[in-house]
Amino acid sequence: MESSEAIRPEKMGPMVIKETWNTPGSIVSWERSENIYICRGECGGIVFIFLSDEMFRMKVFRDRVPDLTTTAAVLVESCIPHLFPVEETEEQLIFTTSAITLFLEKKTFIIRVENVQGKVIMQQNLTSWNPRGANHAEYDMQPDSHFYGLGEKSSFLDKRGEHYTNWNTDVFAPHLPEIEALYESIPLLIHMHDELSYGLFLDNSGRSEFDMRSHGVAFTIGCATGALDIYFINGPEMKDVVKRYTSLTGRIALPPKWAIGYHQSRYSYMNQQEVLQLARTFREKRIPCDVIYLDIHYMDEYRVFTFDPVNFPEPAKMMAELLELGVRIVPIVDPGVKKDPNYKVYKEGVLDKHFCRRLEGDIFLGEVWPGISVFPDFSDSRTSEWWGDLHKYYTDLGIQGIWNDMNEPAVFNDTKTMDLDVMHFNNGRPVTHEEYHNLYGMMMSKATYEGLAEHLQGERPFVLTRAGYAGIQRYAAVWTGDNRSFWEHMAMAIPMVLNMGLSGLAFSGPDIGGFAHHTSAQLLVRWTQMGVFFPYCRNHSSIGTMRQEPWSFGEEVEGILREFIGLRYRWMPYLYNLFHEAEQTGMPVIRPLVLEYPRDPHVTNLCDQFLLGESVLIAPIYRPDTDHRSVYLPEGQWIDYWDGTVNEGGRHILAAAPLHIMPMYIKAGSFIAEGPLKQYAMEETGELVIVHLYGAKAEVGFNAAFTLYEDDGHSFGYRRGRYSELAVKAVGDEASIKLSWSYLLRDYEPHRDVLRFALCYPFFTIAAVSGLSQISMEQLEDGREGWVQKGNKGGIIVQVGDAPEGGEFMISAEKG
Ligand code: GLC
């Protein structure tokens, strides 16, 4: 006999359901309450909150009372509602700030934003949702629309014609042009059209989609659960958008200097002897290095917060020797905690209810490296504190940096992650994993960062993460996960990291040399040449692949890598300045040309070259057996870093690039601060600074200014004012240059007696320097004041005492 099971609906074949999408209809009422505008439609509505003249939030609601909570991406202090005048006409509600006007059509809920000149910046035509809770909004797209941002996405720089999903995903070897979801989700889209840029940030930690492909004259933003909670961020320049977006979601914390040195990793350095030998080899070979990573094999059967008793029997002794060599350790810590009742972390976590559970109470179990594992619920501050505190285990050993991996969270199952019905306590407002997913990794890194900060007592922590959500930049650097040793992946790393920078992730980079597959001598050279100018600089490779430490391919390769890694260390003052700028303003360390030259049509999708700060143009070689490449130089004059020749911008040039050269150009009229070559960032070899000034032709005017920021490089003292700012200025005409400097602040005393200025003025023959005599190179090295001729025409080094009150000199130049 059959039961009722025989007539289960599924057995009746597929049901055809016509999908209905609801819209809010027309506005039936609106009200202002505590500077929040609630506009109700026939069905649901939209809340508008102005956060400044340039930024407002629009959140769609379907219930009677709108829910105004945000995710942890948004800084509470940036979310204060401001009052702006609103005018009501028959057809519209019109909100006006000093920068924008927002028109809300009463009949249709169409939203249009105009600038003060009446130019349309953004138009949202449709807001809708389906009965299953998915949301959707549609925006105008112009013939000249270009799209940027979206964090860690593959493919080219300009995202026009692309479709992306935000759902943190661990896919092995995932860097393919068509992949839609990687490890990080930053739902920020920057839209540039008509010489205007603005940003749309969707604050939703569930699955979301951005489609710039399917609708011809429109692009869409959608989310599968929760609400459409969108922030409009005004430009007009892309830089303004980045600045404002990072004021909303936070900026990077200035890293300790050692964290911006060169890092060496491998899955895995298998034992204590290997790690020590590696560190000694770096020092013997005089290849600078700050960090060695410990991948999963350092642990006792992959139990986090342990060392393997056989392969790493004396971690404290290992750390002591590494400390002498100036090498730091960054161990990996994954979220999966091995299910083992004899393991302290597991036992404590179960007893104190720290692991993610289903609503019914059973702990979610998933398989990762340690076998069956459980996962801390970082949405609960109590658990985050517990987790953070566990890091005392590492800090007691002198460890100041942690590598968070597999924190999407990755689980070895069909969905590759935690089941969607697992619950997150969310500090008393429980949500399903489906709604919370993209926040998991970020909250792990937050707990880690805060735990380290607590135990490091004033030292700056370093956290590296694979997964993250908007705002992750406040806690961690991001690497782009498991790429492969393919030339294509090297090339793709450029737009990926550039867009990450535009999305607030100023501190990021790929595995240099490639993680999976086998690198080659040439690939390692070319990738390292490029990688030393990326914000995050780590060579990492997978188990079973060719070794790719800098000496793995013989002396020629080793020599080239030594030079380029050394250059990163020599440019540390310039680089550190850029990190400081990123902390202050959100500006990325490396930049697509379109950020600096938004009106130049040649650069809207240019992503095989990039800028380090504003002044250095880097043009990597990303194909094998290639010794020339085309380089686009934007407006201005660009001085070839290698031979000092001057190139007029606004055109393409053909650059020669034998294996030991990667084309690099310095913008005429800019300063680069260089320091001594150190073997590790905090090596005590003094803080001599050489301020290089690259001249510009007088007719384009050289009126250059630069401020060098310096601090102790490791503590939080700078947040209490313990830093110095040296302002340098050069003003000149065709016959002379006046160079002056002064300390705007000197609450940190750099360890040096002299300052050096190195001038590269290929336009002039230098004749004399006021008040200083010409000296020899030896005298210069001995610390004497004076000047020496260097290289060709226009090159001199001037050395002066580093007096707190600053000073100035004149250079007389013969027009050459
Ligand atoms: C993941 C990481 C990789 C790491 C490996 C082993 O694949 O992305 O960097 O080496 O796990 O921990």
Report how far ligand 1's centroid is from the alpha carbon of 304 (Å): 14
Whole-angstrom Cα distance, residue 49 to residue 79?
9
Q: What is the mean pLDDT of residues 465-478?
A: 98
Q: Given this model, what pLDDT does residue 17 score?
A: 56
At residue 3 the predicted structure's pLDDT band, cuts being 50, 70 and 90, is confident
Record the pTM. 0.97
Contact 282, 327 (CB under 8 A): yes
pLDDT tens-digit series, residues 644-682: 999 999 999 999 999 999 999 999 999 999 999 999 999
pLDDT in tens, 290-347: 999 999 999 999 999 999 999 999 999 999 999 999 999 999 999 999 999 999 999 9
| CB-CB contact of 490 with 523 (8 Å) | yes
Using an 8 Å Cβ cutoff, are 495 and 750 in contact?
no
Residue 5 has pLDDT above 60, yes or no: yes
C-alpha 481 – ligand 1 centre gap (Å):
8
Listed range (9-23, 96-110, 254-268, 470-484) with the worst mean pLDDT: 9-23
Residue 797 sits at φ, ψ, to 5 deg, of -120, 130
**Residue predicted with more confidence, 140 or 9:** 140
Please compute the mean of the pLDDT values over residues 18-33 and round it to a whole number.
89
Q: Which atom of ligand 1 is nearest to the CA of 268?
A: 10
Instruction: Look at ligand 1, atom 4, and give the residue with the nearest C-alpha.
Output: 267
Give the atom of ligand 1 at the shortest distance from the alpha carbon of 334.
12
- Ligand 1, atom 3: nearest CA belongs to which residue? 482
For atom 5 of ligand 1, which residue has the closest CA?
267
Residue 543 alpha carbon, nearest atom of ligand 1: 10
What is the model's pLDDT at position 20? 82
pLDDT for residue 664: 98
More confident residue, 382 or 175: 382
**Cα-to-centroid distance, 452 and ligand 1 (Å):** 22
Query: Cα separation of 510 and 499, whole Å?
Result: 13
Asked if residue 508 lies in contact with residue 497, where contact means CB atoms within 8 angstroms, the answer is yes
Q: What is the mean pLDDT of the chain?
A: 95
Q: Which residues have a catalytic role annotated?
A: 405, 408, 482
Residue nearest to atom 7 of ligand 1 (CA): 482
Task: Work out which ligand 1 atom sits closest to the CA atom of 172.
Answer: 7
User: When comparing pLDDT for 702 and 208, which is higher?
Assistant: 208
Counting ligand 1 atoms within 8 A of each CB, the residue from 292, 373, 406, 541 with the most, and so the one to mutate, is 406
Cα 294 to ligand 1 centre (Å): 11
pLDDT of 270 over the 60 cut: yes
18, pLDDT greater than 80:
no
Structure tokens at 463: 């956290």
> Tens digits of per-residue pLDDT, 575-589?
999 999 999 999 999
**Radius of gyration of the chain from Cα atoms?**
28
Residue 29's nearest CA partner among 21, 19, 38, 20 is 38
Q: Are 730 and 696 in contact (CB under 8 A)?
A: no
Residue 16 has pLDDT above 60, yes or no: no
CA distance 568 to 771: 34
Cis status of the peptide bond prior to 26, with omega within 30 of 0: no
Q: How many CA atoms lie within 13 A of 765 on its CB side?
A: 4
Q: How far is the CA of 568 from the centre of ligand 1 (A)?
A: 26
In the predicted model, is pLDDT for residue 815 greater than 60?
no
Q: Which of 172, 294, 304, 515 to mutate to test the pocket of ligand 1 (most atoms within 8 A of CB)?
A: 515
- Other beta carbons within 10 angstroms of residue 120's beta carbon come to 15
- At 562 the pLDDT is 98
Ligand 1, residue 511: give the atom nearest the CA: 9
**What tens digit of pLDDT does each residue of 705-740 get?**
999 999 999 999 999 999 999 999 999 877 788 999
pLDDT tens, 390-420? 999 999 999 999 999 999 999 999 999 999 9
Report the run of H or E that residue 769 belongs to, with start and end.
strand 764-769
Bond prior to 409 in cis (omega within 30° of 0): yes
> With helix as H, strand as E and coil as C, how does 420-489 read?
CCEEECHHHCCEEHHHHHHHHHHHHHHHHHHHHHHHHCCECCEEEECCEECCHHHCCEEECCCCECCHHH
Closest to 279 in 3D by CA, of 327, 228, 313? 327
Angstrom distance (rounded) from CA 512 to CA 537: 7
> Within a 10 A sphere around the Cβ of 814, how many other Cβ atoms?
12
What is the arithmetic mean of pLDDT over 544-572?
98
Q: Ligand 1 mean position to 267 CA, how many Å? A: 7
Residue 296 CA: nearest ligand 1 atom is 12
479 CA distance to ligand 1 middle (Å): 11
Pocket test for ligand 1, best of 267, 466, 489 (most atoms within 8 A of CB): 267
For ligand 1, mutation pick of 264, 295, 334, 402 (most atoms within 8 Å of CB): 295
Distance CA 214, CA 209 (A): 12
Distance CA 135, CA 488 (A): 36
> Would you state the pLDDT for residue 622?
98
The pLDDT assigned to 14 comes to 59
Q: Binning pLDDT at 50, 70 and 90, where does residue 13 land?
A: low
Pocket of ligand 1 (CB under 6 A): 267, 295-296, 332, 405, 466, 481-482, 515, 540
Cα 375 to middle of ligand 1, angstroms:
18
The predicted structure's pLDDT at residue 790: 84
In the chain the domains, ranked by start, together with CATH numbers, are: 27-249 (2.60.40.1760), 686-813 (2.60.40.1180)
Residue 236 has pLDDT above 60, yes or no: yes
| pLDDT tens digits along 760-775 | 887 778 888 999 999 9
Confidence of residue 12 (pLDDT cuts 50, 70, 90): low
pLDDT in tens, 619-651: 999 999 999 999 999 999 999 999 999 999 999
Q: Which of 41-45, 104-108, 759-763 has the lowest mean pLDDT?
A: 759-763
Contact predicate 84/52, CB 8 Å: no
CA of 580 to the centre of ligand 1 (A): 30
Convert the pLDDT of each residue in 125-156 to its tens digit. Answer: 999 999 888 999 999 999 999 999 999 999 99
Taking the CA of residue 406 as reference, the ligand 1 atom at the shortest distance is 1
Measured between alpha carbons, how far is 145 from 158 in angstroms, rounded to an integer?
A: 9
Joined together, the tokens standing for residue 642 give 């290698």
- C-beta atoms surrounding 176 within 10 Å: 13
For residues 115-130, give the mean pLDDT: 96
**What does the pLDDT read at residue 792?**
64
Gap from CA of 711 to ligand 1 centroid (Å): 34
Atom of ligand 1 nearest to the CA of 515: 9
Nearest residue to 456 via CA among 719, 714, 722, 748: 714
Host H or E run for residue 243: helix 238-249
Q: Using CA atoms, how far apart are residues 135 and 223, in angstroms rounded to an integer?
A: 5
